[in-house]
A and B are shown apart, each in its own frame.
Chain A
Amino acid sequence: MPQLDVTTFPSQLFWLGVCFLTLYGILYYVALPKVARVLESREKTLEEKINKASLYREEAETLLAEYEAALARARSESQEKSRAMARAVSSELAHRQKEFLGKISDRLRMGEQELFRARLETGSHVKEVSRDVAQVILEKITGRPYSLEELEK
């Protein structure tokens, strides 16, 4: 079995030591720092990007909040305006109604006066007619004309 040939041991151990030390030196001073540097820079870059992303998100959120505030303001303003408009319209309406009611009551009063006058007139007419009728009736009965003065008595 070649593995048990003791004469090769010093050489094997010597070269193992040399090779392993060389490998350790290369890895320790060259290869591993390189890997570590790349990994670190990647981590840093990722962190930066994440920070930036969160910054953008915050900005977006403030923008959204501003937009919503503006929207709410606009809505309340429009409501205010529409309410004012409604108030104006209703007051105008009330004014017009009052005017109209006033006109109607004027007309009503005028109509009543006319009616009253007409009734008065009618009353005087009835008197004359009844006198005339009475005069004619008396003339027919008595056969002689009656003057107005006689009839008044």
Chain B
Amino acid sequence: MHDPLHQFEIHSLIPLKLEGVDISFTNSSLFMVLTVALITIFLVGGMSRGKLIPGRWQSLVEMMYGFVANLLDETAGFKGRAYFPFIFSLFMFILMGNLIGMIPYGFTFTSHIIVTFGLAMIAFCTATLVGFIRHGFRYLTLFVPQGAPFYMLPLIVPIEILSYLSRPISLSVRLFANMMAGHTMLKVFAGFTVILGVFGIAPLAVNTVLTAFELLVAVLQAYVFTILTCIYLHDAIHLH
């Protein structure tokens, strides 16, 4: 039986080294590049004709655009509009990365903790930078909740700081764990199907249901990641 974790293995395709650090082009990198290429084709191809009355493809692109714009407007408010390209990139990258991983023999780069952590750090650093650029050192008042009694501050402020710093961790672990668990489970049931022969029909049925469920998770996790980033941006823009 195949190791269910085999699918997460990374192997170098083009060995590269920069200042002694291994930055080889791996299968993970390949799928990231594919994701970027697919998103570009999807968006640019869909809007290439830019018709007044959109066709199916163009409608899909516009729906995506409208969906993310709406999400950002609702969570981060009007001032969040400036960060729309960033949020949209984040959403599309994670969504496409999750979906591309659903293709058999594909690779899911969002099932690697270091990738999701990198993405979470991008979101976290952007939000923090926005906060400091907009408010300067007043941004630190984010850690002092309004209306908290004075004597509680020594307790509350460290908790707030801790919760703020744990944001990228919770973001990355959530996405990573969801993607890895789902894909591992799919692989395990697929292994059962192979082993059981004729009776493999039962795990195959389960796998079919799980695949649909995984598609839902793929979209949902991209959505969750994006909406949380929007909320962090809201904090950075409005402080409270």
Residues of A participating in the B interface, judged by any CB pair closer than 8 Å? 1-5, 7-17, 19-20, 22-24, 26-28, 30-32, 34-35, 37-39, 41-42, 45
Contact = CB atoms under 8 A, between A and B. Distances in A.
Interface of B: 5, 8-10, 12, 16, 18, 21-26, 28-29, 32-33, 35-36, 39-40, 43-44, 47, 50-52, 58, 61-62, 65, 84-86, 88-89, 92-93, 109, 111-115, 118-119, 122, 176, 180
Nearest to B90: A20
B32 A5 contact: no
Contacts of A22: 36
Given A19-B93, A28-B85, 6 more contacts: A4-B113, A11-B23, A19-B32, A23-B40, A26-B39, A35-B47
Contacts of A24: 85-86, 89
A19 B33 contact: yes
A69 B173 CA distance: 77
Q: Which 6 A-B pairs have the closest CB atoms?
A: A15-B29, A31-B43, A19-B32, A38-B50, A14-B23, A2-B8
Contacts of A26: 36, 39-40
A7 B24 CA distance: 11
A1 B23 contact: no
A7 B47 CA distance: 41
B119 A16 contact: yes
A12 B114 contact: yes
Nearest to A46: B52
Contacts of A19: 29, 32-33, 35-36, 93
Contact of B85 (A1, A9, A32, A39): A32
Given A7-B22, A12-B28, A15-B25, A2 B118 contact: no
Given A2-B9, A10-B21, A27-B43, A32 B29 contact: no
Given A24-B89, A35-B43, A8 B29 contact: no
Contacts of B12: 11
B52 A45 contact: yes
Contacts of B52: 41-42, 45
Nearest to A45: B52
A60 B113 CA distance: 67
29 contacts: A2-B112, A3-B176, A8-B10, A11-B22, A11-B24, A11-B29, A12-B26, A12-B29, A12-B109, A12-B114, A12-B115, A12-B118, A13-B114, A15-B29, A16-B32, A17-B118, A22-B36, A23-B39, A27-B88, A28-B85, A30-B40, A31-B43, A32-B85, A34-B50, A35-B43, A35-B47, A38-B50, A38-B51, A42-B52
Contacts of A13: 114-115, 118
